Amino acid sequence: MTEVNNVELEARLENRERFEPPESFVEQANIVDDAIYDEFEGNWPDCWKRAADLLDWETEYETILDDSNPPFFEWFTGGSLNASANCLDRHLEDRGDEAAIEWVGEPADEDNRTYTYNDLHREVNEFAAALRDLGVGEDDIVTLYMPMVPELPIAMLACARIGAPHSVVFAGFSADALATRMNAADSEYLVTCDGYYRRGDALEHKAKTDEGLGGVDHDVRTVVVDRLGDEYDHPMASGEFDYDDLVAEQAGTKVEPVQRDAEDMLFLMYTSGTTGEPKGVKHTTGGFLSWASWTSQAVLDIKPEDTYWCSADIGWITGHSYIVYGPLALGTTSVMYEGTPDHPTRDRLWEIVEEYEVDQLYTAPTAIRAFMKWGSQYPKRHDLSSLRLLGTVGEPINPRAWKWYYTHIGNENCPIVDTWWQTETGGMMLTTLPGVKDAKPGSAGPPLPGIDIRVVDTRGNEVEPGKAGYLTVNKPWPGMLRTLYNNDDRFISEYWAEYSDTESDDPDDWVYFPEDGAKIDEDGYITVLGRVDDVINVSGHRLGTMEIESAIVGVEGVAEAAVVGGNHELKGEAVYAYVITEEEFDGGEELRSRIVEGVEDAIGPIARPEEIVFTPELPKTRSGKIMRRLLEDIANGEELGDTSTLRNPDVVRDIEATVGDD
C-alpha cells in the first residue's frame, strides 16, 4: 500500500468516516437489501420464521414467541428437532464428501485431519452409541473438558444426538474450576483428553482432570481422548474409558437422533458474573440453533461452499456458536486450529488462511493487537486473497487495530464486522450486515434486524446521541438464554434491569440488561464501552473479579484483596490485584508467587494477575465499600478524581507510591 493511500486512510479514520462494503462483496452477499430492517420491525416476531426456516424441523412449531410468562420467553413452541441431525444428516446427500471440519494440529508436521460430513456423521453416531452404552440418557449433562481437538465438536454433536446437554469447560481452566462446574451441573459424565500442544510443548491435561475429579462430590464416568499418543502416558483408572476403544466397538452403529422439543436444553455454558459463583447459562435447541445459523448466514455471509475460520476456542461461547453449530448447520467447511498463532512462527494463521483458501476469518481484537505488534511482514509472506470477509468479537476494536486488519489482512477489499454479543445472547446482536451497511471503525454498528437495543440512563430513559449510558435489549430474541441452570431467581436478578416491573406479565415491562456501557451516534451506530459490572475482559476472556479475589483471599497470609481491570496494550484489560497481608506476613516475592499459584489453581493461568500491589489498606467509602474505580485509576496511572468521600484518603497516596515503585 502506498504512502498516499495510508494518509487518506488515516484521515478517514480520524473523521470517523464509514467504509462502504466493497462491490465485489455486495455482488455475492447473502443479504443485500436494506429493507430487511423495516421488514423485520414491521413483522415482529413473525420475522423470526426466517431463522427457524434455516433448520429442518421434525414437528413444525405452533407459536413463534410465547411471551405469556416473562422473562421466561419461549420460542418456536411445539416444534421438535435435533441439532446433530441439522448439522450433519441433512447435508449428507449433497455434501457428504465435502469437508465439514478441517482440523489443523499445532505441530507443523502434524497429520492434519479432514472430516467430511460423512466422516463426521459416522463418528458422531459411533460416539453417541458409546455414550448411551455408558449410561448417558436424555437430559443427563455431559461435561466436556477438552482442548481444540476434533473429538470436542464430535462429542458435542454426539450429546446433541441423544438429547444430552453438554457443558464444555475451557481446557485452560483449572482442576477446581472443573469440579465447581461439574458439581453445579450434577454432571456424572466427563469427556476429557490426555493432553495437547501449546507452543510446541505437550501439555498434560489428564492429571489436571484427575485432580478436578477429586473435588467432584458424586461418581463420574470418564472418557479419555488420546491426543498425545506415546508422547504422554496416562494411566486409566476404573470408571475410565478410552475414546478410540469405545468408538471402535461401535464401528458402523447408527443412532436415531432424539427429537427434542424446541425449548429443550441444548447446552449449558458456565460464565462469570458479579458474584464468585459461575453462572450456568442455559441455551435451547430451537432458539439457539436458529440464532447461530441465522447470524452465521446474515453476518458472516456463510455459504456451503465456503471455507470459514473462527479462531476462537470452543471452550467459550464463540466457538460453540461460530465454529460448531452455526457453520455446520449451514453445511459449510469450518476450520479448527489447535494451537497458538505464533507457533512455530508468527505467520501461522496466515499460512493456514493461504493453505485452506479461507473465505471468512473471525477473530478477536486482542489477537489483532498482537499481530500489529509483530508486524505486517508476517501476513505479507502469504497470499490472503481468498478472504472476502473479516470479523471480530470479544471486546471493542480500536480504529487503529481496525485499520491494520482492514489493510494488512483484508487488503482493503473485505468488509469487517465488529460483532457485539455475549454468552447469554447465544449469538450476534449488534453489528453491521456486511453487504448492506457501511462499517464505522470502533462502532459495532446498529442492532441486527428485529433486535431492539437501546442506550439508556439508570431509569431506562434513552440518552442523547453521544452520551454514555447502559445498553439494554428491549425485546426478546430467539437465541437468548432461557435461565441460569437451577437458579431462576438469579436469572431474574442478574439480567432484568432494576426498573423492569418484575411483578408484571406484560413482556414490554421486561428489559434485558447486558451489563455493558455504550453510546449511540445520530446514525444509530452503537459504540460499546465495556462492562459496567465487576467483570473484566482479559484478552477477550470474561473473568469475574470476585472469583479472582476469593482465590487470592484463600492464599495463606492474605487478609483482604481487591481486583480490578487495568488497561493493557495487548490484552485489552489485565488483572490488577491489591492485597493486604495478615500482620505476620510480608508482601514479598514468596507471597507474590503463592498468590499467582492460588489464582492459577482456582481459575487458570488466564486469570493470573499482571500486577500484585501490597498495601496496608484499601480505599473504602464511608459505608465500607471498596472504591474500585479509584483502584482502576491507579492501575491506569490516571489522575485521581474526587477522593473526599473516602474513609481513608491517605491510603490512595500510599498505594500510588507502591505502584510507582514497581
Q: Could you give the angle at which helices 117-134 and 151-161 cross, rounded to 10 degrees? A: 60
Q: Check binding of 393 to ligand WTA (CB under 6 A).
A: yes
Which residue's CB is nearer to ligand WTA, number 192 or number 271? 271
Is 418 one of the binding residues for ligand WTA (CB under 6 A)? yes
The reply to whether 419 sits near ligand WTA by the rule CB under 6 A is: yes
Q: Which is nearer to ligand WTA, 215 or 530 (CB)?
A: 530
Least distance from ligand WTA to the Cβ atom of residue 47, Å? 23
Interface pick for ligand WTA out of 208, 388, 531, 571 (rule CB under 6 A)? 531
Q: Pick the binder of ligand WTA from 50, 95, 320, 542 (CB under 6 A).
A: 542
Determine the Cα–Cα distance for residues 245 and 224; give it in Å rounded to an integer. Answer: 10
Nearer to ligand WTA by C-beta: 227 or 437?
Answer: 437
**Binding of residue 122 to ligand WTA (CB under 6 A):** no
One of 528, 555, 618, 630 touching ligand WTA (CB under 6 A):
528
Rg (CA), the chain: 24
Task: State in angstroms the smallest separation of the CB of 422 from ligand WTA.
Answer: 4
Q: Which residue, 431, 396, 394, is CA-closest to 415?
A: 431
396 is an interface residue for ligand WTA by CB under 6 A: yes
Q: Which is nearer to ligand WTA, 195 or 476 (CB)?
A: 476
Scanning 134-142, 378-386, 393-401, 566-574 for contacts with ligand WTA by CB under 6 A, the matching segment is: 393-401
The residue written with cell numbers 482432570 in the block is 209
The HSE-up count of residue 518 (CA atoms within 13 Å, CB side) is 31
Tell me the three cell numbers of residue 5. 493511500
Q: Which residue in the set 153, 339, 514, 544 belongs to the binding site for ligand WTA (CB under 6 A)?
A: 514
Among 588, 605, 494, residue whose Cα is nearest residue 543? 605
Nearer to ligand WTA, 105 or 572 (CB): 572
**Considering only residues 422, 502, 567, 636, which one is a binding residue for ligand WTA as defined by CB under 6 A?**
422
Which residue, 125 or 425, is less far from ligand WTA as judged by CB? 425
Among 444, 520, 536, 551, binds ligand WTA (CB under 6 A): 444
Contact yes or no for 401/369 (Cβ under 8 A): yes
Among 192, 423, 500, 539, binds ligand WTA (CB under 6 A): 423
Using Cβ positions, the residue closest to ligand WTA within the complex turns out to be 423
CB 368 to ligand WTA: min, Å = 12
Compute how many residues bind ligand WTA; rule: CB under 6 A.
Answer: 22
Q: Is residue 470 within 8 Å of 518, Cβ to Cβ? A: yes
* Position 340, amino acid: T
Q: Distance between CA 263 and CA 78 in Å, rounded?
A: 9
Selected binder of ligand WTA within 222, 296, 500, 537 (CB under 6 A): 537
Return the SS3 of 627.
Answer: coil
Q: Which is nearer to ligand WTA, 234 or 531 (CB)?
A: 531
Alpha-carbon distance of 163 to 266, in angstroms, equals 7
What minimum distance in Å lies between the beta carbon of 426 and ligand WTA?
10
Cα angle 611, 277, 262; round to 5: 125
The minimum distance between CB 23 and ligand WTA, in angstroms, equals 26
Cell triple for 144: 466436556
Q: Give which of 216, 207, 156 is closest to 182, Cα–Cα.
A: 216
Asked whether the bond before 649 is cis by omega within 30 degrees of 0, the reply is no
Q: Please identify which residue in 173, 350, 378, 421 interacts with ligand WTA, judged by CB under 6 A.
A: 421
HEC letters along 333-348: EEEEECCCCCCCCCCH
How far apart (Å, rounded) are the C-alpha atoms in residues 569 and 366? 9
Stretch that binds ligand WTA, among 5-13, 350-358, 377-385, 390-398 (CB under 6 A): 390-398
How far are the Cα atoms of 91, 203, 635 from residue 325, in angstroms, in the given order? 14, 28, 39
Footprint of ligand WTA on residues 240-279 (CB under 6 A)? 271
In order of 288, 404, 589, the CA distances from 12 in angstroms are 38, 14, 48
* Contact positions vs ligand WTA (CB under 6 A): 271, 316-318, 393-396, 418-423, 444, 514, 516, 528, 530-531, 537, 542
